Amino acid sequence: MDKVYAPHEIERRIYERWESNGWFAPSGKGTGYSIAIPPPNVTGTLHMGHAFQHTLMDMLTRYHRMRGDDTLWQPGTDHAGIATQMVVERQLNAQGIKRTDLTREDFVERVWKWKAQSGGTINGQMRRLGDSVDWSRDRFTMDEGLSKAVVETFVRLHEEGLIYRGKRLVNWDPVLLTALSDLEVESEEEEGSLWHLRYPLEDGSGHLVVATTRPETMLGDTAVAVNPEDERYIKLIGGKLRLPLTDRLIPIIADTYVDPAFGSGAVKITPAHDFNDYEIGQRHELPMINVFTPRAAMNENVPTRFQGLDRFEARKQVVRELDEAGLLERIDKHKLMVPRGDRTNSVLEPYLTDQWYVKIAPLAEPAIKAVEDGRTRFVPENYSKIYFEWMRNIKDWCVSRQLWWGHRIPAWYDEQGGVFVGRDELEVRAKFEIPASTKLTQDTDVLDTWFSSALWPYSTLGWPEKTSELARFYPTSVLVTGFDIIFFWVARMMMFGLRFMGDVPFRDVYITGLIRDELGDKMSKSKGNVIDPLDIVDGIDIEALVAKRTSGLMQPQMAATIEKNTRKQYPTGMAPHGTDALRFTFAALASPSRDIRFDLARVAGYRNFCNKLWNAARFVSMTVGETAPAPGPTELSVADRWIRSRFSRMLEQFENALREYRFDFAATALYEFTWYEFCDWYLELTKPVMQSETSSEAAKHGTRQTLAEMLEALQRALHPLMPFITEEIWQLAAPLAGRKGETVMLQPFPASGEYPRDADAEREIEWIRSFILGVRQIRSGMDIAPSKKLAVLLSGTLAATETGSDTFAATGGVSASDRARIEKHRPYLERLGGLESITPLVAGASAPQSATALIGELTILVPMAGLIDADAEIERLTKKIEKTRLDRDKIAKKLANENFVKNAPPEVVAQDRERIAEFERTLASLEAQLARVRSLKGDQ
């Protein structure tokens, strides 16, 4: 084995072996456990957020697989309608081709080609991350089976009256030329203006001032509304206004929607271009005048001179003409929320079109109830509030998109505009008895991407067929995802799953935080702070990193800033850390309901941990040899018993943590056990046994066996989190421990109960640790070289009258139990403390000038002759005394409060009394020692 763990060498080889052996597939035995992957965009790449979520999913998957569950992690990708179409359009544009230059079929063909070309990226990344998904079941939302599920769902919902087509206002993207759902709208506060316009009264007796943020829409006004209570305008209600720039007369209506305190208290009503106005229009049966083309230029319904103008040009011209006509009262600065498309960032228009909608209330109700009843549980729990909040105010879902890439809506039209929904044209003709002579054309729209995503947990398992997989793996066990798609995805899976499967799609929903950069900013390409998870794994030099971050920017002018920041943050690029270190970092940082500021130093720490584990394995193999210890008489040392006991406790902690999705606790339990107990103490404690000529063969045998057993079992415990290094070490450790098997990933997860708890061993080792710690503190405090062997003396608190004078003379008042311990553990104490001897201070002999440590009743004296600086010892003691006094006083104060003594639970009071006594003893001893050192110093 190499001295330093080199992840790169082994990770690919190991994954290849796992995959080619088909070990990721469900075993077909045991309880079903399943996770459906949140399908990433097929043409995208995985970012840190994916890597984070995948780590948690893989950890759960590997753990349950090892527990013997029939475990499926279902992989797949999403066609991501708008996002993918935009990418391909951009590529075409770069070649000077417009999408509309191609036929729909040609364009879709190109998208499929792009998918084939780029679609492997994600799967490649997942393999590097160690994701143990069942590749044989890989799915794509546009593949045949899933498309069938989409059509089936649409048709059934339509049959049940839960899908309808209607002409309404939708959020229209004038760049993409498609409708969007409410969720795809991102409103941002922007600086704008509030224009106060004068609308002349019909009789010429004056004018009414209306305030608007969108003057260009005035060409489509069909009324002006005031509040019915508004004294100023009450007499005008029912009258008419002459709409400037047009020849139309529009009514003044009363509606309580109008807030008299805002603007002028009079609102122009444009039912075809504003959601509120639309509703007012419905209430008052106002005509709707659409003044925009789909690209948001002015259409034929406005005066000729405005026709064809872009909306923002039209705005300027409208304002100018009104101003010239003396109809512009004033312009106020005004902040307003501007709706923008989440993909194009273009300003959206409320626009009147025919679209397909899912009637959502009947679907939402059971989905709310399922969470209320705890059939699906959010972790952390407070996300259920966000879910409820949205579900209770949910509006119908516009599912049609005017795109080319996606699932075509299964609806056909005849030439009279009749609409027929069915699974295909044949079915439609049969069902509605439409003769072959009648021409039918299919709806040209596609469905919202999230429509197919909503079916994911069961469509991937073969629905609408009744498959054995559905029976076995639905509902899935847990969904791991980010809060940002609770509405987009989680809620919709709940609604559809309950409707079509009659049960929730997942038992638990674990919501992860967001991975942010080291400054707490969201990672995004445009900010140039994105980290590719594989760059952390493999490392990347600074030039390559800068190139990566500054290429293909939407705003190339940002490149210089991005380069500067990148060079500052990563002067030498990133070192390779390996997948296991990255995974460990994600788990350790996965505290509930908290975003993660990603810190590369943390990964380096866990890379060191990998190296530590690696070297522990080296040590074990050097100590044990290359084969399992031959059978023979075996004696387990106190350390051997102790490490098993501690391992048992750690496993319990780990499993409890994982049950509650506390990946951070689970990781910490593994880390602390491995480093602080197994490496720091157990391996050290084996040395006195193994490297001594006096220890028995049986004892050596027991230690060898324990070393092999623990190393092997530890790999299994660590495997779900660190799959690669544990596989590599396990291959070496398994034979030593006499365990057979081809791979650690299919071995049973170690059970806490297999390793006996041993309270006695834990007590003994605790005592040994404090003894050694005491010596080390003196050594360090007194600046004694580690290589210098010390001869320590002991004294106890027993008096001659208690022990008999002879015994006292020989033992220095050290209690029998301490003496027994010292004898029993002498090799440990001498070796780990760097001691040459441990002898009781002979009674009567005056104690030499020493530094001391207290272990309960036992005092360890390190003679100072030639070693120790008395001043340093005085300083050390003074410091210790001060600290002990503070601790004592704090408790003394508490105990002095009679209410505390009266009201606190007796065990708390008793415990404090005990502690104070302990502090008093320590203090007395420290003070005596201080006095001694002082007086001896005086003698010098």
Partner RNA sequence: AGUCGCGUAGCUCAGUGGUAGAGCACCUCCUUGACAUGGAGGUGGUCGGUGGUUCGAUCCCACUCGCGACUACCA
* Binding range to RNA, per CB under 7 A, among 148-156, 268-276, 291-299, 424-432: 268-276
Tallying the residues shown for the chain, one arrives at 940
Query: How far is residue 666's CA from residue 656's CA, in Å, rounded to a whole number?
Result: 8
Residue of 75, 78, 59 whose CA lies nearest to 25? 75
280, 225 in Cβ contact below 8 A?
A: yes
Nearer to RNA, 382 or 438 (CB): 382
900 binds RNA (CB under 7 A): yes
Which residues between 489 and 528 bind RNA (CB under 7 A)? 520
397, 358 in Cβ contact below 8 A?
A: yes
Least distance in Å: CB of 486 to RNA?
Answer: 8
Which residues between 627 and 646 bind RNA (CB under 7 A)? none
Nearer to RNA, 229 or 806 (CB): 229
Q: Which residues contact 194 (CB under 8 A, 6 or more apart)?
A: 211, 212, 213, 263, 331, 332, 333, 334
Nearer to RNA, 3 or 235 (CB): 3
Q: Which residues contact 243 (CB under 8 A, 6 or more apart)?
A: 199, 218, 221, 249, 250
* Binding range to RNA, per CB under 7 A, among 135-143, 272-280, 417-425, 443-451: 272-280
Which residues between 595 and 614 bind RNA (CB under 7 A)? 595-597, 599, 601-602, 604-605, 607-608, 610-612
Q: Which residue among 39, 75, 263, 833 contacts RNA (CB under 7 A)?
A: 263
Considering CB under 7 A, how many residues would be counted as binding RNA? 95
Least distance in Å: CB of 834 to RNA?
Answer: 8
Which residues between 369 and 398 bind RNA (CB under 7 A)? 382, 385-386, 389-390, 393
Residue corresponding to tokens 């049609």: 400
Peptide bond into 629 cis (omega under 30): no
User: With left for phi above 0 and alpha for psi between -120 and 50, is residue 96 left, alpha or beta?
Assistant: left
Q: Which residue among 165, 207, 240, 334 contacts RNA (CB under 7 A)?
A: 334
Nearer to RNA, 98 or 902 (CB): 902
In this structure, what are the phi and psi dihedrals at residue 854, rounded to the nearest 5 degrees? -110, 125
342 binds RNA (CB under 7 A): no
Burial label for 734, CB within 10 Å (0-12, 13-18, 19+), is buried
Nearer to RNA, 106 or 783 (CB): 783
Query: How far is residue 774's CA from residue 852's CA, in Å, rounded to a whole number?
Result: 8
* Binding range to RNA, per CB under 7 A, among 51-59, 502-510, 633-641, 772-780: 772-780
Which residues between 644 and 683 bind RNA (CB under 7 A)? 664-665, 668, 675, 679-680, 683
Least distance in Å: CB of 336 to RNA?
Answer: 4
Which residues between 567 and 596 bind RNA (CB under 7 A)? 589, 591-596
Q: Which residue among 23, 135, 432, 619 contacts RNA (CB under 7 A)?
A: 619
Nearer to RNA, 337 or 698 (CB): 337
Nearer to RNA, 99 or 649 (CB): 649
Nearer to RNA, 131 or 396 (CB): 396
Nearer to RNA, 300 or 783 (CB): 783
Residue of 586, 598, 534 whose CA lies nearest to 722? 586
Least distance in Å: CB of 161 to RNA?
Answer: 25
Least distance in Å: CB of 593 to RNA?
Answer: 5
* Binding range to RNA, per CB under 7 A, among 207-215, 363-371, 541-549, 560-568: 207-215
DSSP E strand boundaries for 105-201? 139-140, 163-173, 178-180, 185-200
Q: Which residues contact 30 (CB under 8 A, 6 or more apart)?
A: 67, 68, 69, 70, 71
Least distance in Å: CB of 465 to RNA?
Answer: 36
Least distance in Å: CB of 335 to RNA?
Answer: 8
- Run of H or E residues at 224: strand 223-226
Nearer to RNA, 630 or 785 (CB): 785
Query: How far is residue 543's CA from residue 772's CA, in Å, rounded to a whole number?
Result: 50
Which residues between 471 and 490 bind RNA (CB under 7 A)? 483-484, 487
Q: Which residue among 630, 785, 799, 865 contacts RNA (CB under 7 A)?
A: 785
513, 596 in Cβ contact below 8 A?
A: yes
Please give the torsion angle defined by the CA atoms of residues 603, 609, 611 and 612, in that order, rounded to the nearest 10 degrees: 160
Query: How far is residue 922's CA from residue 784's CA, in Å, rounded to a whole number?
Result: 24
Residue of 72, 79, 74, 54 whose CA lies nearest to 140? 79
616 binds RNA (CB under 7 A): yes
Which residues between 186 and 205 bind RNA (CB under 7 A)? 187, 194
Nearer to RNA, 337 or 816 (CB): 337
Report the largest interatomic distance among the alpha carbons of the chain, rounded to a whole angstrom: 127
Least distance in Å: CB of 694 to RNA?
Answer: 16
Nearer to RNA, 301 or 608 (CB): 608
Q: Which residue among 268, 401, 492, 701 contacts RNA (CB under 7 A)?
A: 268
Which residues between 4 and 63 bind RNA (CB under 7 A)? 4-5
Nearer to RNA, 408 or 597 (CB): 597
C-alpha radius of gyration, the chain, whole number: 38
922 binds RNA (CB under 7 A): no
Nearer to RNA, 465 or 599 (CB): 599
Nearer to RNA, 526 or 691 (CB): 691
Query: How far is residue 929's CA from residue 850's CA, in Å, rounded to a whole number?
Result: 8
* Binding range to RNA, per CB under 7 A, among 323-331, 406-414, 617-625, 721-729: 617-625
Least distance in Å: CB of 798 to RNA?
Answer: 26
Nearer to RNA, 378 or 500 (CB): 378
Query: How far is residue 182's CA from residue 340's CA, in Å, rounded to a whole number?
Result: 11
461, 467 in Cβ contact below 8 A?
A: yes
Q: Which residue among 112, 257, 420, 432 contacts RNA (CB under 7 A)?
A: 257
Least distance in Å: CB of 739 to RNA?
Answer: 21
902 binds RNA (CB under 7 A): yes
In this structure, what are the phi and psi dihedrals at residue 20, rounded to the nearest 5 degrees? -70, -20
Least distance in Å: CB of 194 to RNA?
Answer: 7
Give me the DSSP letters along 453-465. HTTHHHHTTTTTS
* Binding range to RNA, per CB under 7 A, among 723-731, 778-786, 801-809, 812-820: 778-786
Structure tokens at 347: 């300003």
Buried b (16+ CB within 10 A) or exposed e, 890-915: ebeeeeeeeeeeeebeeeebeebeee
DSSP E strand boundaries for 111-162? 139-140
Q: Which residues contact 262 (CB under 8 A, 6 or more apart)?
A: 211
